[in-house]
């Protein structure tokens, strides 16, 4: 039998669950559909940083040159799988257009605004609902082994300082006072005090439980197969477990979102960007705070009784294979920065696909072709950071109320 629903959220990652929660908080009758399990996409094994002052987009001056150099190295943290794809070629051209100082300066303010608003929501939600997700606010230390990368790091810190992001430049001994287990050839660091981290999968499950308590119907193992429309509205959502007749639909399908481009009559310039992580039992030498090992592009995050390190960005389509050469390289690189990382007990080797837009800004807004569809996707490297505010904004759009932020920088129309 067809099911009538007021608000239907598609996707059970951080963005979908946050959206379902805020919709229910507004008093709406909400159903969430997830094709697999909750947090089975990118929202599980990521680095868990609530990087609310991290506002530097991936595209920037010199990034293409560095990317090309990395392409020649099979162990590098960056890779583009050569393939005949018009979408990839178009995406790369749009990315290239963002690789300049002017574009970077335009992208920083909206990233900061949504990041800071989102962090405020994290602290509210975690406190009010006592969400068990290993939240810690200890800042983040960027570490460098080469003078060239340290200079780039200092430049980023100066750029962010112009936007009110505090940081502290550290020489080798100051960095070692913060983290005693650094290897001798770490030459310096930059400390950003305004960074938090969580165990992301735990957050998604804990908030989903709260949302369930507010009446959200969560259907896992329920895949959306088709969206049927009439007169500029989605009228029927066909799934593996029957059809839904929604008044409103929120698409929070992360890296899978481009699959809906045709049915939504839209171009969604999102490339899946694969990354890997190792979750290990917390070693004695675990850092006190989250670290970024800059030349290797590795994030290290303490997570309660565990530690996670993650890296790589591979533009290879919807490919979930694990490249062991790269994951081995990650393990070796970790030991080049930190002592005591030799005999780690690996609990999980994971890969996930970031939904990456060319400008590193998410897509949040009403779908131009369907008046009852809201898009909440394309969060790239910062979907955990931005999920709560995205959820609130998407819920406000569904309710027809004034969004709490200017959504123009996030509208999909910027790409059309
Ligand atoms: C290695 C790595 C490290 C990262 N580190 C960080 C970090 O430190 N901080 C940060 O902010 N971000 C980080 N990210 C990015 C972050 O993980 C993502 O941006 C975020 O998880 C995206 O959330 P989402 O809900 O949009 O997508 P997902 O979590 O991928 O959720 C989308 C969901 O939609 C479901 N779905 C898809 N199609 C259908 C369908 N047809 N029917 C029903 N369900 C469907 C999928 O199964 C999936 O569960 C990292 C990512 C990676 C890979």
The torsion defined by the Cα of 257, 258, 261 and 262, in degrees rounded to 10, comes to: -120
Give the lowest-confidence range in 58-62, 167-171, 288-292, 360-364: 58-62
Q: Is the CB of 10 under 6 A from ligand 1?
A: yes
pLDDT of residue 104: 93
Q: Dihedrals φ, ψ of 73, to 5°? A: -110, 115
Q: Is the CB of 308 under 6 A from ligand 1?
A: no
Among 381, 385, 389, name the best residue to mutate to test ligand 1's pocket (greatest count of ligand atoms within 8 A of Cβ).
381
Q: What confidence tens digit (pLDDT) does each residue in 59-80 have? A: 988 888 888 788 778 888 788 8
Supply the residue whose CA is at minimum distance from atom 3 of ligand 1. Answer: 46
Burial state string for 100-122 with b = 16 or more CB within 10 A and e = fewer than 16? eeebbeebbebbbbbbbbbbebb
pLDDT of residue 70: 80
Q: Is the CB of 256 under 6 A from ligand 1?
A: yes
Q: How far does the centroid of ligand 1 lie from the alpha carbon of residue 13, in Å?
A: 6
Going by the DSSP 8-state scheme, the letter that residue 289 receives in this structure is S
Q: What confidence tens digit (pLDDT) does each residue in 172-207 have? A: 999 999 999 999 999 999 999 999 999 999 999 999
Q: Is the CB of 254 under 6 A from ligand 1?
A: yes
Tell if the pTM clears 0.75, that is, is over it.
yes
Q: How far does the centroid of ligand 1 lie from the alpha carbon of residue 326, in Å?
A: 21
CB-CB contact of 131 with 206 (8 Å):
yes
Q: How far is it, in rounded angstroms, from Cα 275 to Cα 272? A: 10
Q: What confidence tens digit (pLDDT) does each residue in 7-35 have? A: 999 999 999 999 999 999 999 999 999 99
Going by the DSSP 8-state scheme, the letter that residue 372 receives in this structure is T
Q: How far does the centroid of ligand 1 lie from the alpha carbon of residue 11, in Å?
A: 9
Residue ranges of domains in the chain, CATH in brackets? 3-44+202-268+360-415 (3.50.50.60), 55-101+134-195+270-356 (3.30.9.10)
Instruction: Tell which residue, 38, 396, 393, 389, has the closest CA to residue 211.
Output: 38
Q: Which residues on adjacent β-strands are paired with residue 299?
A: 292, 310
Q: How far does the centroid of ligand 1 lie from the alpha carbon of residue 121, in Å?
A: 19
Supply the residue whose CA is at minimum distance from atom 1 of ligand 1. Answer: 275
Q: With left for phi above 0 and alpha for psi between -120 and 50, is residue 48 left, alpha or beta?
A: left
Q: How far does the centroid of ligand 1 lie from the alpha carbon of residue 353, in Å?
A: 7
């Amino acid at each position: 039998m067809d099911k009538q629903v007021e608000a239907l959220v598609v996707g059970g990652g951080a963005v979908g669950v946050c959206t379902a929660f805020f919709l229910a908080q507004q008093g709406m009758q909400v159903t969430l559909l997830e094709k697999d399990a909750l947090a089975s996409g990118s929202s599980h094994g990521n680095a868990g940083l609530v990087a609310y002052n991290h506002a530097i987009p991936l595209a920037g001056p010199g990034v293409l040159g560095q990317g090309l150099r990395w392409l020649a190295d099979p162990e590098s943290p960056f890779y583009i799988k050569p393939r005949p794809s018009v979408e990839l070629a178009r995406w790369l051209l749009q990315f290239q257009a963002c690789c300049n100082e002017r574009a970077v300066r335009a992208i920083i303010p909206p990233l900061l605004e949504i990041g800071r608003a989102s962090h405020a929501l994290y602290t509210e939600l975690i406190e009010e609902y006592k969400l068990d997700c290993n939240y810690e606010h200890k800042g983040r230390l960027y570490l460098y082994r080469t003078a060239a990368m340290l200079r780039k790091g200092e430049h980023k810190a100066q750029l962010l300082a112009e936007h009110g992001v505090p940081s502290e430049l550290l020489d080798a001994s100051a960095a070692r006072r913060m983290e005693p287990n650094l290897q001798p050839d770490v030459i310096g660091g930059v400390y950003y005090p305004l960074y938090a981290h969580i165990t992301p999968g735990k957050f998604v499950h804990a908030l989903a439980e709260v949302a369930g308590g507010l009446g959200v119907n969560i259907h896992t193992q329920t895949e959306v197969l088709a969206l049927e429309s009439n007169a500029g509205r989605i009228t029927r959502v066909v799934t593996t477990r029957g059809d839904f007749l929604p008044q409103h639909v929120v698409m929070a399908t992360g890296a899978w979102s481009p699959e809906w481009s045709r049915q939504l009559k839209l171009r969604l310039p999102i490339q899946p960007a694969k990354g890997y992580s190792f979750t290990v039992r917390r070693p004695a030498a675990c850092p006190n705070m989250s670290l970024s090992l800059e030349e290797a592009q590795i994030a290290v995050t303490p997570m309660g009784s565990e530690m996670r390190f993650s890296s790589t960005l591979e533009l290879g389509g919807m490919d979930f294979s694990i490249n062991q050469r790269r994951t081995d390289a990650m393990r070796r690189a970790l030991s080049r920065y930190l002592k005591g990382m030799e005999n780690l007990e690996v609990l999980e080797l994971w890969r996930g696909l970031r939904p990456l837009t060319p400008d590193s800004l998410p897509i949040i807004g009403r779908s131009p072709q369907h008046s009852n569809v809201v898009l909440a996707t394309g969060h790239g490297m910062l979907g955990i950071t931005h999920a709560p505010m995205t959820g609130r904004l998407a819920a406000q759009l569904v309710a027809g109320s004034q969004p709490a932020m200017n959504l123009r920088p996030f509208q999909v129309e910027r790409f059309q």
